[in-house]
Amino acid sequence: MYICNPQDAMKTAKYHKRCFDQIEGIVTENKALTGEVDRLRLEAEKVTRERDTQKEQMIDLSWRLTDKDRERISKIVRWYSSFSRPFVPVEITVTTVGLEEELERVRKEMDQLDQECSCILESERKAGEELRMRNRELTSNTCVVV
């Protein structure tokens, strides 16, 4: 198609420039959003690793607590069995305060890490949606060169 009128040619050139400027702005914004998504993804992975470490520590503490309880119970049973009279089983509650407090602290940290992880994943999801929306805008607003 040939444009005979110089004013039409100038309007078309301005329109092309405006379209390309819009595309350039959208591409720049998409790059920034992609960077944000990548940063959030790395942060979520870090929080997940920390949460997994906390879970391992909690399991270890739980096993240590169980072992301590068994050890104390066996000592009490041996002590009672050292008497001449027959041993009558009694329900024994043994508490290991230090390990229980540590276990509770680790549980609280895990809860906090779970909350942080869910917040990060939600932010990542929102950034991804915004990126997809911008990409749709870019593809639907492409300029037709005349």
- What does the pLDDT look like over 95-128, one tens digit per residue? 556 677 777 887 888 888 888 878 888 888 888 8
CA 12 to chain centre: 48
Name the band, by pLDDT with cuts 50, 70 and 90, for residue 79. Answer: low
The amino acid present at 36, given as its one-letter code, is E
User: Which amino acid makes up residue 77?
Assistant: V
Is 70 exceeded by the pLDDT of residue 83?
A: no
Determine contact, residues 40/124, Cβ cutoff 8 Å: yes
In whole angstroms, give the CA distance from residue 57 to residue 107. 10
Asked if residue 14 has pLDDT above 50, the reply is: yes
Number of domains in the chain: 1
Residue 16 lies in a domain: no
Q: For residue 50, is it within any domain? A: yes
Asked if residue 145 belongs to a domain, the reply is no
Q: Which domain holds residue 103?
A: 22-134
Q: Is residue 8 part of a domain?
A: no
Q: What are phi and psi of 83, to 5 degrees?
A: -75, 160
Report yes or no on 11 lying in a domain.
no
